[in-house]
Amino acid sequence: VCASDLVAWFYASGQQIYHPVDSAERFAFLYGPLPYIATGLIYKLFGASMLTAKLAGFLCLVLTFVGLTAAVARRYANQWLPILVALGYLSLLALFFKSPMFWSKPYPFMMAAMACGLFSCLLNDRRLAWLVCGLCLGLAVNAKITGAVYFLPLVAWFFERDGFRSVLLLGMVALVV
């Protein structure tokens, strides 16, 4: 069990995630609230265990597979090779992060948000694409503040394709999330 799992358990038990600086219960974590809230909700639903501690991260891995596969399939319609390469890449990535502590930290949430953000770039409805990418950006930042860095290429792509208005709306959606 890592400290992130304990904070999620505290949250599931009704305690707050972040405490005042002068409080005895403060934690020194640089993560946003998303991993703690998601894992805490799973604790409430299924109880606290080593398996449930990693369930949120595993679900993010599944979402990452789905998001990346959908993006590659949409970009390379009727071509299996790029889809297989993308799935192989993700399989290797999942094996690389075989440490059980990885799955309850913010990184699976950031990977899932990035995969879904990448898929949003390929949507035909541009406004929907901005909304989905903004939602994903907001979730990535709620996992860890550096999640915004992962979205810089997507934001630059939207700016290049759709102009400043797309970036403005995308940013406003991310701020609301």
Q: What value, to the nearest 5°, has the Cα angle with vertex 115 and ends 109 and 117?
A: 100
Which residue carries 């990184």 as its tokens?
A: 107
pLDDT in tens, 106-117: 888 999 999 999
Distance CA 59, CA 120 (A): 19
pLDDT at 61: 84
Q: How far apart are CA 137 and CA 175, in angstroms?
A: 9
Q: What is the pLDDT of residue 28?
A: 65
Mean pLDDT, the chain, whole residue set? 86
Instruction: Extract the tokens encoding 132.
Output: 């989905």
CA distance 103 to 98: 9
Q: What is the pTM of this model?
A: 0.85
Residue 167 has pLDDT above 90, yes or no: yes
CA distance 144 to 106: 6
Query: For position 17, what pLDDT does the model report?
Result: 85
pLDDT in tens, 41-79: 999 999 888 888 888 888 888 898 888 888 888 888 777
pLDDT digits (tens, 9 = 90+) for 120-135: 999 999 999 999 999 9
